[in-house]
Amino acid sequence: MADRTLRGQAAIVGVADAASPTGELELTGRALEVTMIAEALADAGLTIADVDGLCYAGFGGMATLGLAEYLGISPRWTDGTNVGGSSYEVHVEHAAAAIAAGLCDVVVGVYASTPRSDRKRSSGGGGGGRRPMPFGPDPRMEFEMPYGLMMPMGAYALSASRHMHSFGTTSEQLAQIAVSTREWAAMNPSARYQDPITIDDVLSSPMQASPLHLLDCCLVTDGAGAFVMTSAERARDLAKPPVHVLGAATCHDHSGIMAMPDLTTTAGAISGPNAFAMAGIKAGDVDLLMGYDSFTITALLHLEDLGFCDKGEGGAFVEDGRTGPGGSLPMNTNGGGLSYTHPGMYGMFLLVEATRQLRGECGPRQVEGAEIAVAHGSGGVLSAMATVVLGTEATL
């Protein structure tokens, strides 16, 4: 079905993000969203008047309506998909399809959340920051809540427990992911944590939910970002080199961790290969992996499920620092959710960094000659996976 592929149909043409070493941002809510959209449009050389498509994973019903009204736009295509942290990769997939089908020309996607500073502002910080509480009887409330699993890290801890049992994965191997990611963060002046850490530092940090230590867990910070997409053809006339969508795919297989079919294999084992097939690439072709790292185990599972190594081999794969600076598979070069920023739904930042790397804009942490980058998002508790393969003009 070659004529049905999204390969090369659409491109990311503008990005923006905001994060801070303090973990806090001045702006909140709509103001932060608008800033991100304005910066991403400026990055692309476009204006809000060009926008006719909108993606938004805001909480509550009809979230895209409120945002569009605030922006003063009338999008003729809209997507309010919210599957958690991978929503933004899903948005790229959907936007590429919509652009390819001629439903719209210029799509903006945005995210802003300020949980860290909201905690200080007791009155709450506006639209973007607050998370919903579990509401009403549902399976989680009846059959998980009474047992006191710390969330979300407890769900990931159960996966790590099973992975260790099945494959002999060690705490040291998981810790290495945090160590390598921190090495990247040291080269990103916006990263929340930039000082080097060791495996011992990770293992001696407080246990959060065994076997996961504090430094196996992502940050809680403010953060925001946006992307702009348009057709591959129009992208060539804009301000920055286009970053083409070569492949995109989604899969989700559970909501609560109790119902995860196999605690050691995510739906990325479906979305990854499907996205790679659409892009016509193999794992070995990937220059850079932005693999959602809510926890060290999350990143490890992505490496296996996307085929960078065999199932169960993730621990050994990362052991020699292969995913850090100078390694053969640079992973989470902005410092990731573990060290850069993690406002709750991290997937936007995967797209922003992948785009900047493919444009060669990343300074000291630039991956030399990066042509193909993968942004792989994870939403829910290892629930919703979405893989986006991005490439430079030369890869088309």
Partner 1 sequence: MAHDTPTPTRFEPPVSDDTAPFWEATRDKQLVLQWCTSCQKAIFYPRAACPGCLGDTIEWRPATGFGRVHAVSVQHKPANPFMADKVPYAVALVDLDEGVRLMTNIVGCEPDDVAVDMAVRVTWEPLTDGRHLPLFEPSALAD
Which residue number, 158 or 331, has a Cβ lying nearer to partner 1? Answer: 158
Q: Does 208 bind partner 1 (CB under 8 A)?
A: yes
DSSP structural state of residue 153: H
- The answer to whether the bond into 330 is cis (omega within 30° of 0) is no
Q: Does 72 bind partner 1 (CB under 8 A)?
A: no
Residue closest to 90 by CA, chosen among 362, 347, 302: 347
Which residue number, 12 or 257, has a Cβ lying nearer to partner 1? Answer: 257
Which residue number, 30 or 162, has a Cβ lying nearer to partner 1? Answer: 162
x/- site string to partner 1, residues 259 to 278, per CB under 8 A?
x---x---------------
Nearest-angstrom CA–CA distance, 102 and 123: 43
Q: Does 254 bind partner 1 (CB under 8 A)?
A: no
Nearest-angstrom CA–CA distance, 355 and 348: 11
x/- site string to partner 1, residues 79 to 118, per CB under 8 A?
----------------------------------------
List, in sequence order, every beta strand (DSSP E) within the chain. 10-18, 53-56, 77-79, 106-113, 207-209, 212-213, 223-231, 243-252, 288-291, 372-379, 384-391
Stretch touching partner 1 by CB under 8 A, among 17-25, 138-146, 366-374, 384-392: 138-146
Q: Does 144 bind partner 1 (CB under 8 A)?
A: yes
Q: Does 138 bind partner 1 (CB under 8 A)?
A: yes
Stretch touching partner 1 by CB under 8 A, among 203-211, 319-327, 351-359, 363-371: 203-211
| Residue of 61, 146, 284, 326 interacting with partner 1 (CB under 8 A) | 146
Beta carbon of residue 169, minimum distance to partner 1 (angstroms, whole number): 12
Stretch touching partner 1 by CB under 8 A, among 123-131, 200-208, 215-223, 384-392: 200-208
Q: Does 136 bind partner 1 (CB under 8 A)?
A: yes
Find the distance separating the first CA and the last CA of the chain, reported in whole Å.
Answer: 18
Q: Does 132 bind partner 1 (CB under 8 A)?
A: no
Burial class (CB in 10 A: 0-12, 13-18, 19+), 326: exposed
Nearest-angstrom CA–CA distance, 249 and 229: 17
Tell me phi and psi for residue 156, to 5 degrees: -70, -35
Q: Does 148 bind partner 1 (CB under 8 A)?
A: yes
Residue closest to 191 by CA, chosen among 56, 67, 340: 340
Tell how far CA 56 is from the center of its chain: 14
Q: Does 147 bind partner 1 (CB under 8 A)?
A: yes
| Residue of 168, 210, 233, 396 interacting with partner 1 (CB under 8 A) | 210
| Residue of 30, 130, 162, 311 interacting with partner 1 (CB under 8 A) | 162
Beta carbon of residue 54, minimum distance to partner 1 (angstroms, whole number): 34
Residues with Cβ within 8 Å of residue 84, at least 6 apart in sequence? 345, 378, 379, 380, 383, 384
| Residue of 132, 142, 284, 394 interacting with partner 1 (CB under 8 A) | 142
3-state DSSP: the chain helix, strand, coil percent, rounded to 5?
A: 40, 20, 40
Positions that interact with partner 1 (CB under 8 A): 136-139, 141-151, 154, 157-162, 165, 206-212, 257-259, 263
